[in-house]
Chain A
Amino acid sequence: MFQQILFATSATPACDPAARVAFNLARRYGGRLALLHVLGVPTRGFSQEVVDIRTGQKVQADEDYLACVREEITQYYAKQMESAPGAAIDIRLGYPHREILRKARDERPDLIVMGGTTEDPSNSAYKKVMVSSTFHRVAKAAFCPVLAVGRSAASFWGGGFSNIVFATDFSKAANAAFDFCLEVAGSLDGELHLFHALDIGTPQTGVLIDQDAIEKRLREARQRIRGLYVPRMGEFKKYSIEVWEGIPYIEIVKFAREKQADLIIMAHQSQALDAENAKLGSNMEQVIVRASCPVLSVSRPPKAQ
């Protein structure tokens, strides 16, 4: 199911956990891995100068420089590349999210893998482009699932076992995410945990729901999961259903930890064009930052080829 994997990387330690997952997946599925490095943010109007994302230096992105960066990336991933024959490295200029999406549109990968956070938030070039969150923008617009690997302590999906947490918010996007979830669980012979986190707010935010109401809503959410997803699972029986209340991203992370999840699948459902604001309230962003396993985002059904 992952014949084409696009791994978008800064080729820095910040992307090492993501690299391990990307290479593991390619190996496991015999997929073709395409590495994409977006080198520089265009700057100064129409000039040929770009800001190198890794160094923050202003450079003339000519053929020599691109060749030099390609060589560096080849060296950086030399060992892993040995296990991924046919892996190709592509270097592009532009805004990272846009170039990742452009590449995805050109090559229609089955999965995009990205590092979750940047290594150095004080790096000015990154700050410029990451302020609106490359991941958020890619996850929102991509027509294929996007896998974020945020923490170096992350479990590395692609190994021999698999526990998958499907965290649903019952949105339309979650429907598409569930289809994908089933496909992954089936192919990995994994265990699937259907989970919903009931947002009950906090007294600090002025939201206080009485316990009976909470328990009623917990029951309703369980029913909803049963009604929405269980009929679609057919013969697949290795699943559980759980609904917890609290702050959604915290509950998802706790649940994933308890289940020793190798993967969390969530729907990316923000419709906001304004990535910066959407990011602030995004459960997914928080889960990516906190979870000890990769987080997979699905925003819509795969586009017909």
Chain B
Amino acid sequence: MPEGTFCNRTPIQTEKALKRLLEDTGGKAYYQEMKALEVDRDLLWGTIQKTLKSRLRTWLGICAHCGMCADSCFLYRISKRDPRQVPAYKIQSTLGEIVRRKGNVDNAFMHMAMETAWAKCTCCNRCGLYCPHGIDMGVMFGYLRGLLYQQGFVPWELKIGAGMHRVYRAQMDVTDKDFVETFEWMVEEYEEDYPGLTVPVDKQEADILYTVNAREVKHYPEDLAEAAILFHLAGEDWTVPSSGWEQTSLAMFAGDWEACKLQVQSVYGAMERLKPKRMVGTECGHAHRATVVEGPYWAGRPDGRPPVRSIHYVEWLAEALRTGKLRIDPEKRIRVPVTIQDSCNYIRNHGLKEITREIISHIVAPGYFREMSPNREHNYCCGGGGGFNGIGLYRPQRNQALITKRDQLLATGAEMVIAPCHNCWDAIRDLVEEFHVPIKWSFLKPLLIKMVQVPEHLRPENS
């Protein structure tokens, strides 16, 4: 049963193994080896018997093949309505077939299943909203990804991403030390402008425990500074954990269930150690899903909830604006046509649609907000969700997938789109580049910084 040096069924467990895999540029050898990777059928069928529970079994069985899910899928709509892009077909021809064959599938089948799972579904869960039976293909693809990962049929970047979580407990090679140092560095840069600005690390029993996305630490730490400034101006009692600060989970995209659990346990560990009143996560959709929505189940928490109440950044921000902790200078509100991207992971899947509109009512001058069509829970995926953004092998498909969002954005006539989600932000940036769309895109924090009123006692001396 040959396994490759790079492409195999063994998860990345060490930094050395991670670096070695990274050295295989673009996964060239990895994908070559994958062509010869045999399927461990006993393992596959054994896993299915142990993990395919009643909900998924029922969903597979009751699908009436009615096709109502077809038009709900943006990938179907942009593929000239290719029947092979109908969600029901996609899951029945992959997971359904594996189950029907009792795991008796070959390498070519697994290649097809891998492409379907990662390049034909972003796990946006929109189809589940339109299925008369409530069958959610996104959830089932999440499960299928787990089976594929276990067999070694996973895109190169996601094997690396899951490995990062295993080695660093972060989606990138950012250590706990890097995180704390970077946050302190950002405070140093801005403390002159915001006297008294600090980053309280490992404070016990703070009102807020703040968790982030490692990319902020690695590539745009201004985001950390902006978060600190807004907590500071709002007068919050907040802290960051010296470990367990990474809220995201590429392991979830990869289907690496064990790493999912390891990652979320590190965040929950921080909650249990520091006992904050609640956790606030950064502007990231999948991080919220991983830590707040799905994480409790990965960690085996009986109540299905994180150890402390955990909210998305938009919830904190709406509350801060509602209660007057943050006040907006009315003159500085946005005065260009602007729209908002509803992130699948916390709008469709966690019901925060009115929260983001509440924020809009504070930060956009009347008459400038434009809704996308469709919107709220009916909004389409940005085109890069579920890991699609980062997979080189499926780049052409991903770029094609951006068309829906491009057209939605253009139809609004907006000059700016607010995207409080890393994945959406990335996808929109890429579609601007790919299709030369004249639109600006932004997280909420930098916009807030521009318009929030600084209380007199927090202003620098010479201002």
One of A2-10, A58-66, A183-191, A201-209 at the interface: A58-66
Task: For the complex, count residues of A whose C-beta is within 8 A of B.
Answer: 29
**A contact residues around B392 at 8 Å (CB):** 44, 47-49, 60
Instruction: Find out whether the CB atom of A273 lies under 8 angstroms from the CB atom of B226.
Output: yes
Instruction: Find out whether the CB atom of A44 lies under 8 angstroms from the CB atom of B390.
Output: yes
Instruction: Find out whether the CB atom of B215 lies under 8 angstroms from the CB atom of A46.
Output: yes
Instruction: Find out whether the CB atom of A124 lies under 8 angstroms from the CB atom of B391.
Output: no
One of B18-26, B69-77, B141-149, B408-416 at the interface: B18-26
Instruction: Find out whether the CB atom of A64 lies under 8 angstroms from the CB atom of B389.
Output: no
- Bound Cα distance A131, B160 (Å): 32
- Determine if B329 is an interface residue (Cβ-Cβ < 8 Å): no
The one of B22, B250, B395 that contacts A48, using a Cβ cutoff of 8 Å: B22
- Bound Cα distance A56, B456 (Å): 45
- Determine if A42 is an interface residue (Cβ-Cβ < 8 Å): yes
Instruction: Find out whether the CB atom of A273 lies under 8 angstroms from the CB atom of B25.
Output: no
- Determine if B205 is an interface residue (Cβ-Cβ < 8 Å): no
Instruction: Find out whether the CB atom of A98 lies under 8 angstroms from the CB atom of B433.
Output: no
- Determine if A105 is an interface residue (Cβ-Cβ < 8 Å): yes
Smallest CB separation, A176 vs chain B (Å): 11
Give per-residue flags for A71-99: 1 if the beta carbon is below 8 A from chain B beta carbons, else 0: 00000000000000000000000110010
Question: Which residues of chain B from 173 to 219 have a CB within 8 Å of any chain A CB?
Answer: 185, 188-190, 192-193, 215, 218-219
- Determine if A274 is an interface residue (Cβ-Cβ < 8 Å): yes
- Determine if B54 is an interface residue (Cβ-Cβ < 8 Å): no
- Determine if B234 is an interface residue (Cβ-Cβ < 8 Å): no
- Bound Cα distance A303, B218 (Å): 23
Smallest CB separation, B174 vs chain A (Å): 12
- Bound Cα distance A48, B222 (Å): 22
Question: Which residues of chain B from 386 to 429 have a CB within 8 Å of any chain A CB?
Answer: 387, 389-392, 395, 422-423, 426
Question: Which residues of chain A from 162 to 205 have a CB within 8 Å of any chain B CB?
Answer: 171-172
Question: Which residues of chain A from 270 to 286 have a CB within 8 Å of any chain B CB?
Answer: 271, 273-274, 277
- Determine if B157 is an interface residue (Cβ-Cβ < 8 Å): yes
- Bound Cα distance A47, B222 (Å): 21
Query: What residue of chain B has the Cβ atom nearest to residue A42's Cβ?
Result: B219
The one of B171, B389, B446 that contacts A274, using a Cβ cutoff of 8 Å: B446
Of A47, A101, A172, A300, chain B has the most CB atoms within 10 Å of the CB of A47
* With A45-B423, A46-B390, A49-B392: A271-B463 Cβ-Cβ less than 8 Å: yes
- Determine if B96 is an interface residue (Cβ-Cβ < 8 Å): no
Instruction: Find out whether the CB atom of A46 lies under 8 angstroms from the CB atom of B172.
Output: yes
- Determine if A141 is an interface residue (Cβ-Cβ < 8 Å): yes
- Determine if B258 is an interface residue (Cβ-Cβ < 8 Å): no
Give per-residue flags for B423-463: 1 if the beta carbon is below 8 A from chain A beta carbons, else 0: 10010001001000000000000100110000000001111
Query: What residue of chain B has the Cβ atom nearest to residue A64's Cβ?
Result: B25
**A contact residues around B430 at 8 Å (CB):** 43-44
Smallest CB separation, B120 vs chain A (Å): 18
Instruction: Find out whether the CB atom of A44 lies under 8 angstroms from the CB atom of B389.
Output: yes
Instruction: Find out whether the CB atom of B157 lies under 8 angstroms from the CB atom of A300.
Output: no
Instruction: Find out whether the CB atom of A271 lies under 8 angstroms from the CB atom of B193.
Output: yes
**B contact residues around A45 at 8 Å (CB):** 384, 387, 389-390, 422-423, 426
Give per-residue flags for A21-53: 1 if the beta carbon is below 8 A from chain B beta carbons, else 0: 000000000000000000000111111110000
Instruction: Find out whether the CB atom of A63 lies under 8 angstroms from the CB atom of B23.
Output: yes
Instruction: Find out whether the CB atom of A44 lies under 8 angstroms from the CB atom of B426.
Output: yes
Smallest CB separation, B181 vs chain A (Å): 9
**A contact residues around B161 at 8 Å (CB):** 46
**B contact residues around A62 at 8 Å (CB):** 22-23, 25
Give per-residue flags for B144-166: 1 if the beta carbon is below 8 A from chain A beta carbons, else 0: 00000000000001001100000
Query: What residue of chain B has the Cβ atom nearest to residue A93's Cβ?
Result: B219
- Bound Cα distance A271, B450 (Å): 11
- Bound Cα distance A105, B186 (Å): 11
The one of A60, A124, A300 that contacts B192, using a Cβ cutoff of 8 Å: A300
Query: What residue of chain A has the Cβ atom nearest to residue B463's Cβ?
Result: A271
* With A60-B25, A274-B450: A47-B390 Cβ-Cβ less than 8 Å: yes
- Bound Cα distance A101, B188 (Å): 12
* With A62-B25, A63-B23, A300-B192: A105-B185 Cβ-Cβ less than 8 Å: yes
Give per-residue flags for A105-143: 1 if the beta carbon is below 8 A from chain B beta carbons, else 0: 100000000000000000010001000000000000100
**A contact residues around B226 at 8 Å (CB):** 273
**A contact residues around B219 at 8 Å (CB):** 42, 94-95, 98
Give per-residue flags for B7-26: 1 if the beta carbon is below 8 A from chain A beta carbons, else 0: 00000000000000011011
**Minimum-distance CB pairs A-B, first 9:** A45-B389, A45-B390, A47-B390, A62-B25, A46-B390, A141-B189, A271-B193, A60-B25, A172-B462
Given A42-B215, A48-B22, A271-B192, list of 11 further CB < 8 A pairs? Answer: A43-B430, A45-B387, A45-B389, A46-B250, A47-B389, A48-B25, A60-B26, A64-B25, A141-B189, A172-B461, A172-B462
List 12 A-B pairs, Cβ < 8 Å: A45-B426, A46-B157, A46-B161, A48-B26, A48-B392, A49-B392, A60-B26, A95-B219, A105-B185, A271-B192, A273-B450, A274-B446
